[in-house]
Amino acid sequence: MSAATRAGTRPELSTEGPQRQLTQQSSPELWGRLVFEATRLAHIREGRSAVSPVDSRALLVADRDEPAVPEATLAPGAPVEPAHVHGVHDTSLHLVLPRQRAEQVCADGWGVPHAYGDFGTEILVYGPRDADELALVLGLVRESIAFARGE
């Protein structure tokens, strides 16, 4: 998937504690659509994140106990967690992508490396601001799921 460069300035992020998006959040309605659509993707079940605040929605691979490679999950061990959507007051996501793809997504302005990443595959993706960005972000989530499943 080739992504256009994200328009506008980058959102402000927290500098300590959990990595959070502080400005340019999705509207509550758009965040709700993101959660609704992301939790209904193939091979996914919604659950509690092993590494994110309690208001996050983890996207867990339903048919795998281990990721295809260790760098294809946000949390070690089962269940495999390729992505999670942060709560409605943040609206960003953390997800994993192959390193080169993660670097490209960040270079195109859609996110930044995860502040606490171990492999260079973990990134924070900004919450979508409109329906077009929602479609792009959901595409990144699909890529993350495929990476975790070894596809």
Q: Report if residue 58 sits inside a domain.
A: yes
Q: Supply the CATH number for residue 74's domain.
A: 3.90.1150.30
pLDDT tens by residue, 11-24? 999 999 899 999 99
Q: Report if residue 42 sits inside a domain.
A: yes
Q: How far apart are CA 120 and CA 117, in angstroms?
A: 6
pLDDT tens by residue, 41-67? 999 999 999 999 999 999 999 999 999
**Residue 1 pLDDT greater than 80, yes or no:** no
Mean pLDDT, the chain, rounded, equals 96
| pTM of the complete model | 0.96
What residue numbers bound the domain in which 57 lies? 28-149
Find the radius of gyration of the CA atoms of the chain. 14
Q: How far apart are CA 65 and CA 20, in angstroms?
A: 28
